[in-house]
Amino acid sequence: ETGVTQSPTHLIKTRGQQVTLRCSSQSGHNTVSWYQQALGQGPQFIFQYYREEENGRGNFPPRFSGLQFPNYSSELNVNALELDDSALYLCASSPLAGGEAYEQYFGPGTRLTVT
Amino acid sequence: EDQVTQSPEALRLQEGESSSLNCSYTVSGLRGLFWYRQDPGKGPEFLFTLYSAGEEKEKERLKATLTKKESFLHITAPKPEDSATYLCAVQGNNAGNMLTFGGGTRLMVKP
């Protein structure tokens, strides 16, 4: 069974640029969630994708956007990068969306540094 | 709005010295409470899901318990390899499918 994978591992961008992060979900999982984790803090929910549509969003501005593809992989796009966007970006996959609680399995993350 | 508070922020133990980590939460209808372990620079690793007050789950030296207001992660006779940050998260009925995390407890176990 293949776990959640993310690319790239590390990324350095300049303020104002745009970035795309990628995630492949765990085998058999059709739901992908993205989280932002600042240093020393817990992860914060950005949004979730299910059946290629956004299925819930946290308190993040519209310059954070995403996609999910037919194979359930996903992208997180961030436009007009700000210094505060520097963080570990985590992708998590799960087998279902809605209804009962379900475990989310996390990838290793992408460390984004904005200078 | 769902909220999770973890205490202490950091905990230093000697190898073999048992202790407990606390997770206090407020949620509009708990669907599930989750414990994760996170090593530095890595993604959280799933440990347990608890669904209702009174439930307990165990895995090796770890035992998680749940009441209506808080959860405890008990660590029995810890080893240095148990050193990590332990994260607690809740999923509530009104929160869609998001997990709300606490700030974590950074555990250091010295040999």
Give the sheet arrangement for strand B56-59, strand by strand: B3-7, B19-26, B70-75, B62-66, B56-59
- Euclidean distance between CA atoms A46 and A60, whole angstroms: 6
Instruction: Report chain A residues touching chain B, CB-CB < 8 A.
Output: 4, 6, 31, 33, 35, 40-45, 48, 50, 55-56, 58, 88, 90, 92, 97-98, 100-109, 111
Give the per-residue pLDDT at B107.
98
Higher-pLDDT residue of B9, A29:
B9
- Euclidean distance between CA atoms A107 and A27, whole angstroms: 13
CB B57 within 8 Å of CB B102: no
Q: Which amino acid is at B55?
A: E
Give the per-residue pLDDT at A99.
57
Chain A residues with beta carbon closer than 8 angstroms to that of B4: 42
pLDDT band at A100 (very low <50, low <70, confident <90, very high): low
Residues in chain A: 115
pLDDT tens column, B81-94: 999 999 999 998 87
Instruction: Report chain B residues touching chain A, CB-CB < 8 A.
Output: 4, 6, 31-32, 34, 36, 41-46, 49, 51, 87, 89, 91, 96-104
pLDDT tens column, A27-78: 888 899 999 999 999 999 999 998 899 988 999 999 999 999 998 999 999 9
The C-alpha of B31 sits at a distance from chain A's nearest C-alpha, in angstroms, of 5
> How many Å separate Cα A68 from the centre of its chain?
11
- Euclidean distance between CA atoms A90 and A47, whole angstroms: 11
B54 pLDDT more than 60: yes
